[in-house]
Structure 1
Amino acid sequence: MRRMTRVHFTKMHGLGNDFVVLDARETTLPAIDARVARALADRRTGIGCDQLILLEPSDAADFRMRIFNHDGGEVEACGNASRAVALLHGSAASVETGGGVIRVEPTDSGATVDMGEPRFGWDAIPLAYGMDTALMPVGWDGLDQPGAVNVGNPHVIFFVEDTDAVPLDRMGPGIETDPLFPERVNVNVATIVSRTHIRLRVWERGVGLTRACGTGACATAIHAMRRGLVEREVTVTLPGGDLTIAWGEDNRMLMTGPATESYRGSFAWSDFA
């Protein structure tokens, strides 16, 4: 394995949710911790991104994907990053993540990702105590009776008449860090437009308001399907664009949507270590 002090990166995005991707599958990189991830993600003094993505060798899959949020915290899954990584890899592959092994496959305009099976148990979200996750008897300032789904990371979903009318930038931080969610939570507010169309905004834990969240689109669609509000395949419209989410009879979630490479560059590791 070849060592290097200047590190190459690829800047990518999925519907405006942007990533810095470091490929350590064949080149050994120094250890990445929360401090380094925050420094690289900083939009004023670093490269700038919502998430830092690290690709590594894996014994369980074709390769491993680690995900660091803008605040430096490592998380289990990122649907938009999975599509970006599929595009970068260039062919179908199995990918080990903190939330389990997923499968990715490039398409003409992006990628399809098999996101695995959703989990609904209160202890799988996780919540601090037991309750029905399909209709939770809790609320915050007019947002009430949400559902919760773990799709590799935890999500809480509120159905509202107008998703744009919810002050998510104000309410998101309090819900994300509520003691009900011991690992914090991603906050989704959604409007059911029709049986095949959902509009969605997401407060992403460790990131904040985001133009797109692939796992949020999956969680919201699955919760709507579970409640019988939509069909088993829907279009989810986020501020950054559309994703297609399907929930198969085999209980697996398929997410399809665009991904884009923005540019490539390099940096001196010593500038951020």
Structure 2
Amino acid sequence: MRRHFHKMHGLGNDFVIIDAREEPFEVTPHLARAIADRRTGVGCDQLIVLEPGETADLKMRIWNQDGGEVESCGNATRCVVQLTGASSIDSDGGMLKGEDLGAEVEVTLGEPRFGWEDIPLAYAMDTAALPMAWDGLEQPFALNVGNPHLVFFVPDARQVPLQEIGPDIENDPAFPERINVNVATNSRDRLELRTFERGAGETLACGTGACATAVAAIATKRAVSPVQVDMAGGSLTIAWEPGQPIRMRGSATHVFEGYLDLGTLA
């Protein structure tokens, strides 16, 4: 059996996108891992499946490289808006709005959530400065922007051994649904960011990570809105004011399309 797909990326954060609005597509953890494999599959950070929407133009479902299904992905949302023209997208992380502006796509996420139970944490803690530390990284800001994030502000994000320390933080028992890990260096008008995504590892860019980091920087008065977030794959512009949704603007790129031979991936 063959199935059509698109390969797209947002600032190097890459996706295999399958449109299942007319023909259902069943995903198992094994199949998601097989498609995402960069040697024997198509290769991607996340598999995206588009389904019919009940209260939106469509529903977006997301599987990470490890086969786990997750709630939200900002870079994928921009790609889906550009690919389909959808202006409203339902996801397990909440309702998303999008607008294709030509060279860039703007996506509006919901309001960030800061309660310990919203992230979620295993027990009540001060989410503005968690009383936790890992090998010199300490007191992160925790929040949920459709999926859970920690943000560490550090003198030089490039010097943090994120590949080594990321798995320990992601899988700490304090985070029952695991967590995305961000390390950022800030100035008033821009942030330099690296993100270790749960289930995928360090990626060239992370849209929700950029949103979470910008919100944390604005909330702690390290930056003012709008703020530019620079990542290895490129930059996003994030705007947020307390009590308001988050707005994210950046590029989305279509790379190629093709057909999956599902028999070889089973």
Bin the TM-score by the shorter chain.
Answer: over 0.9
Render the CA deviation track for 1:93-118: whole Å, top value 9, x for unaligned: 11010111111111121310001110
TM-score, length-normalised on structure 2?
Answer: 0.98
SS in 2 for 1:265: strand
Runs of 4+ with deviation above 2 angstroms: none
User: Partners in 1 of 2:241 and 2:52 — Cα distance?
Assistant: 30
Q: 2:111 aligns with which of 117, 128, 150?
A: 117
* Aligned-residue offset at 1:232: 1.9
Paired with 2:8 and 2:261, the residues of 1 have a C-alpha distance of 20
SS of alignment partner, residue 27 of structure 1: coil
Q: 1:97 aligns with which of 91, 97, 100?
A: 91
Match of 1:6 in 2: 2
What TM-score results when the alignment is normalised by the length of structure 1? 0.95
Structure 1 residue identity aligned to 2:176: P
1:233 to 217, 226, 235: 226
1:31-74, Cα deviation, whole Å (9 max, x unpaired): 11111100000001101000000000011211000000010100
Is 1:20 the counterpart of 2:38 in the alignment? no
Give me the whole-angstrom Cα distance separating, in 2, the residues matched to 1:7 and 1:41: 15
Q: Distance in 2 between matches of 1:12 and 1:183?
A: 27
1:39 aligns with 2:34: yes
CA deviations 1:178-230 (Å, max 9, x no partner) are: 011110000000001x2110000000000001000000000000011111111
The CA deviation at 1:272 is 1.7
Residue aligned with 1:199, SS = strand
Query: Matched residues in 1 for 2:259 and 2:143: separation?
Result: 38
Amino acid at match of 1:218: C
Per-residue CA deviation, residues 242-267 of structure 1 (Å, 9 max, x unaligned), is 00000046511000000100001002
Query: Contact 1:128 / 1:180 at 8 angstroms: preserved in 2?
Result: yes
**Equivalent residue number for residue 244 of structure 1:** 237
Question: What RMSD over aligned residues (CA atoms) do the two structures have, in Å?
Answer: 1.0
Segments of 5+ residues of structure 1 without an aligned counterpart are none
Matched, 1:164 2:186: no
Distance 1:269 1:61 in 2: 29
CA contact (8 A) 1:117 1:251 kept: yes
SS in 1 for 2:109: strand
1:76-225 superposed matches below 5 A: 76-90=71-85, 92-192=86-186, 194-225=187-218
Q: Which stretches in structure 2 are left out of the alignment for 5+ residues?
A: none
Counterpart-to-counterpart distance in 1, 2:260 and 2:113: 39
Secondary structure of the 2:196 match is strand
Tell me, yes or no, if structure 1 residue 50 matches structure 2 residue 39: no
Mapped to 2, the partners of 1:241 and 1:211 lie a distance apart of 8
Cα contact 1:200–1:236 (8 A) shared by 2? yes
Partner residue, 1:259: 252
Distance 2:64 2:24 in 1: 22
